[in-house]
Structure 1
């Protein structure tokens, strides 16, 4: 009797590979991209230096998908559970990101081809994750333990990742776009996240500009993918994301000093 194959279970979250990322036993299978070899080299380095906060790269399966280790825990997907919106969860994300930056600092990205980098002056320092969205962080017992989905990772900087993560986790956007427990606390959470990470004075000073440009960069990726007919991004972009992105960008312009004051 032939050996029964383990069942594939689709994993939630994400737009670019929605429905195409599956769990098989203790592994995750994901479609490869032209820049996947760079990501695999990055994950090998992180394993070599003993950083446990990312999946391990295990190889390529018979369908050409990359095989990653499955990290037990919960990623934060809508509807957001209350524990994911606590200050304790926020601080743990900042600590995880800081630890990732320490581990990746010794990795040389130059032999590899990466996705488009963040704009100057926010690129070239280290390989930043570039997409620390809520569904790209794995939690256990209310604490962030791992980053997943390195599809956008590439030569960036600490301040770029801090800005992107704070923008999404605080979150930094107009109150009308915040419909859960973080409403009216975004500036306090912004300060808490930055303080928990502990950037240098120069990085702290650069954060507000980095946040606005990170927002613009991220939504340019979304808009470009939608324009090229990617189904997930077409639905997202046409379902109100375009208007929210424009409204949030204007909010950054109108509230630049408010954001700077929050960090003083």
Structure 2
């Protein structure tokens, strides 16, 4: 069957063949296959199905129909409070599914580690686009619940200099925490800053080591954008933390 390149992939070339998605295998392929198989065995529909490896050595995943918000301009429904609550609840679902499993090891849960609208599938629910699944699990690893919750706050709220209303961003950050459930709110803003620092330094280190995809990200100005976001969160840390109390 013919291959069609799926949009939005900046790091990996991802193609669709029929009802399957093919993506390059990596050192994480074994972990990802076990994780997606676990989700399928529990009947959770919030992730692609693992279907094996093809003759070219690529991972084969089930295709999830819907809209992925990979473009900077997104439909208003993607950014609505209802969608944000639904994202937080989806995260809580897969965290609870992995808590206490071999996949989580000695950590609280398995974290996705790259949650953002560009890795979220949206479908119409009662006439409005709502998140129904997450894709791109290749960075998934054992971690703590707050890591994914903080990443959601950073990416879905676009915490950074483009935020016009700090009070509104703080309110929506509280909404994420409310939607997820019990989480260490006192550490949430600190963990957003940790993610931003880790991301910027990670791209720089990998690019210096010759990683082609990270070289492209750095050339596109991503490192500078992340540091700008880090400075913005640092400057407004007090207001964000007060809203979470």
Same fold per superposition (TM over 0.5):
yes
Residue 106 of structure 1 and its aligned partner are, at CA, apart by 4.0
Task: Give me the CA root mean square deviation.
Answer: 1.9
Given that residues 27 and 67 in structure 1 are in contact (C-alpha distance below 8 angstroms), is that contact kept between their aligned partners in structure 2?
yes
Q: How many equivalent pairs are there?
A: 238
Question: 2:122 is paired with a residue of what secondary structure?
Answer: strand
2:81 to 87, 95, 99: 87
Of the three residues 12, 19, 23, the one matched with 2:7 is 12
Query: Is 1:233 equivalent to 2:189 in the alignment?
Result: no
Residue equivalent to 1:65: 58
Q: What residue is the counterpart of 2:18 in the other structure?
A: 25
Task: Work out the CA distance in 2 between the residues paired with 1:164 and 1:110.
Answer: 18
**What SS does the corresponding residue of 2:221 show, helix, strand or coil?**
helix
Give 1:51 shift. 1.1
- The alignment status of 1:149 with 2:143, answered yes or no, reads no
Partner in structure 2 of residue 40 of structure 1: 33
1:188 equivalent to 2:177? Answer: no
Which consecutive residues of structure 1, in runs of 5 or more, have no partner in the other structure? Answer: 1-5, 112-122
TM-score for the superposition, normalised by structure 2: 0.90
Tell me whether 1:171 sits opposite 2:158 in the alignment.
yes
Q: Render the CA deviation track for 1:55-90: whole Å, top value 9, x for unaligned.
A: 111111000001101111111111322221222221
Are 2:45 and 1:52 equivalent residues in the alignment? yes
**8 A contact 2:120–2:132 mirrored in 1:** yes
User: Is 2:217 aligned against 1:222?
Assistant: no
- Say yes or no: does 1:103 pair with 2:90: no
TM-score (norm 1): 0.84
Q: Matches of 2:190 and 2:240 in 1, distance apart?
A: 10
> Are the counterparts in 2 of residues 8 and 24 from structure 1 also a CA contact under 8 Å?
yes
Q: Could you tell me how far apart the structure 2 residues matched to 1:197 and 1:215 are? A: 21
Alpha-carbon distance, 1:127 to partner: 1.1
